[in-house]
Structure 1
Amino acid sequence: MKLLSNLILTVLGTPVVLWHGMGDNCCHSFSMGAVSKMIQKKIPTVEYVKSLMIGDSEGSDTSNGFLMPVFQQLDLACQQIQADPALQNGYHAVGFSQGGQFLRALAQTCPSPPMKNLISIGGQQQGIFGFPKCPDGSSICEYVRKMLNWGAYTSFIQSRLVQAQYWHDPLQEETYKEYSQFIGVVNNEHEFNQTYKDNLLKLENLVLVKFEKDSMVVPKESSHFGYYSPGQDAEILPYDQTELYTEDRIGLKTLDTAGKLHFFTFAGDHLRFTDEEFTENLAQFLA
């Protein structure tokens, strides 16, 4: 198996792994399919792109993005990557919306094979405090919205709804730290896990993209690890003034000091970017 993977990688450049956002799936021709083609067209060295499917079909991949606990999704993603011969010498990763924080968590929990560069596009790295308007006809989305409004930190909802697992209520900071089953855990706010920090520091680059007019991520600064100052939901702390950074809980400050933390802001709404914006700013981390 190792000989095969080495043979493949003598022909191909570093492969790329994609993880889609909420309501999407691995293989839509207009989303992840289009991104895969764009990467291969614009970056000639990338000849292998793997778009993660969580489940056994495109439909289950979409529903699992709402209903399968995140750590179960991470386990399935890790198994796929470890079983793929083309990825055994390492890969770059690009996550879209919630796929951005999921891939960051994958770097923390699945260090082999190594993730080299991680690009998070519109990811909610500090979580969210607000749920966007659901697309017309999306009954599952409306169900999630109602459940979050009912009680995001109840054990019933935390264990069943993905978006509850990265719900970060600044008005209930201690409750969030105690009961969050995903974002509070991987941000080392529940209890400190040195392995999570050590594994994230293995990244060569962590690249974070925020959208200036983002109407989906609340607050939009979460895409850059910024968040509300604890105890209120008006003042936003930039990433380097949050306790997550100043206490270096997951290694952000260390990555920043080493020049491995990169920030980009795109002008549009959530995930609205052009091929040119992608290649001019982000292709350098995939070549």
Structure 2
Amino acid sequence: MMKRRGGLSQLISLVITLCTFCEAGYKPVIIIHGLLDDPSAFTGLTQFIQEAHPGTNVSVIDLFDDLESLLPLWQQVGNFTEAIRPIMKSAPGGVHMIGFSQGGILARGIISTMSDHNVQNFLSLSSPQMGQYGDTSYLEWLFPHKLKEELYKVCYEDYGQDISVCQYWNDPHHHDLYLKKNNYLPILNNETYNDKSQEYKKNFLKLKNLVLIGGPDDGVITPWQSSQYGFYNSSEAVIAMKQQKVYAMDSFGLRTLDKRGCIKTYTIPGVEHVKWHTNETVFKNAILPWLS
């Protein structure tokens, strides 16, 4: 009987050890919050991840919360990078990164400028990756006396570029000013001259997968297809990702990733902008498969 009990005890210990190993085997997840947001908004998403993958280290970076999210994006990229570098160094197997809304634009900046990043899968969750051009409740609050047709007069001035939203404001009727005056998104897209363009492209291409999540009922990202690298032309017709100049020219590696089969898009109707990270269906179908 003692031998049996000893064998059973050893078996239980082995199972516990194996379970602990499996739980610890999930890659850390780094989350970058959006405009006028803070980490508390991501309690639900953190819980989803940890319930599905027990033991996962989930870090919602507590920087540039609420009104501070309006500060210049390059400043934010630098500080976020320093905050997440220790997380990456402690994870030799790599990490996954989720960027929500403006956080997706920031995450892209981090990945593109960080030569030693080890992001495996980048999940862009309802993020204006090709820019924003539309009247929304956010803009009405920020610029109460400006319509979208007039906002370029603010955003494409030097003082406007001190406001995060203006650094991805992409007015299709003033594309020349966007290229000349916008000092963030056109640089990431390599649409304008940048002596680090090839370095940024090389860093971006280190990704294993780029996951683009958005939908027609978002209500904030305009056009919503910007979340999947589509955008307006000068007639405000939406041009899909593969017809975009940045794709055709492979300006920052988008076409290369696509040819590798590394881009996955999810178009999910019925989800409002602020609900993406609390929607369990979105999590199970579009996020969870990429967090292994």
Same topology, TM > 0.5: yes
Change (3 A) 1:238 1:265: same
2:249 maps to 1:247? yes
Q: TM-score, normalised by structure 1?
A: 0.85
CA contact (8 A) 1:90 1:115 kept: yes
SS at match of 1:244: helix
What is the aligned partner in structure 2 of residue 125 from structure 1? 129
Equivalent AA in structure 2 for residue 228 of structure 1: Y
Larger radius of gyration: 2
- Write the deviation string for residues 122-181 of structure 1: whole angstroms up to 9, x where unpaired: 0000010124114xxxxx9723455773521000111x2100000001111111011111
> What root-mean-square deviation, in Å, do the aligned CA atoms of Structure 1 and Structure 2 show?
2.2
CA contact (8 A) 1:227 1:238 kept: yes
What is the aligned partner in structure 1 of residue 141 from structure 2? 142
CA contact (8 A) 1:18 1:49 kept: yes
What is the aligned partner in structure 2 of residue 4 from structure 1? none
Q: Deviation at 1:90?
A: 2.3
Measure, in 2, the Cα distance between the counterparts of 1:228 and 1:97.
18
Q: 2:34 aligns with which of 2, 21, 43?
A: 21
Q: Percent identity?
A: 27
2:217 maps to 1:216? no
What is the aligned partner in structure 1 of residue 290 from structure 2? 285
What is the aligned partner in structure 2 of residue 91 from structure 1? 95
Q: TM-score, normalised by structure 2?
A: 0.83
Measure, in 1, the Cα distance between the counterparts of 2:117 and 2:238.
36
Q: 1:53 aligns with which of 53, 57, 62?
A: 62
Equivalent AA in structure 1 for residue 167 of structure 2: Q
What is the aligned partner in structure 1 of residue 84 from structure 2? 81
- Write the deviation string for residues 16-62 of structure 1: whole angstroms up to 9, x where unpaired: 00011111112x1xx21221111111233x5100111225xxxxx21
Change (3 A) 1:180 1:63: same
Measure, in 1, the Cα distance between the counterparts of 2:254 and 2:60.
27
The ranges of structure 1 where at least 4 consecutive aligned residues each deviate by more than 3 angstroms after the TM superposition are: 8-12, 84-89, 143-148
What is the aligned partner in structure 2 of residue 275 from structure 1? 280
Equivalent AA in structure 2 for residue 95 of structure 1: G
CA contact (8 A) 2:26 2:53 kept: no
Q: Deviation at 1:280?
A: 2.4
Measure, in 1, the Cα distance between the counterparts of 2:135 and 2:184.
17
SS at match of 2:117: coil
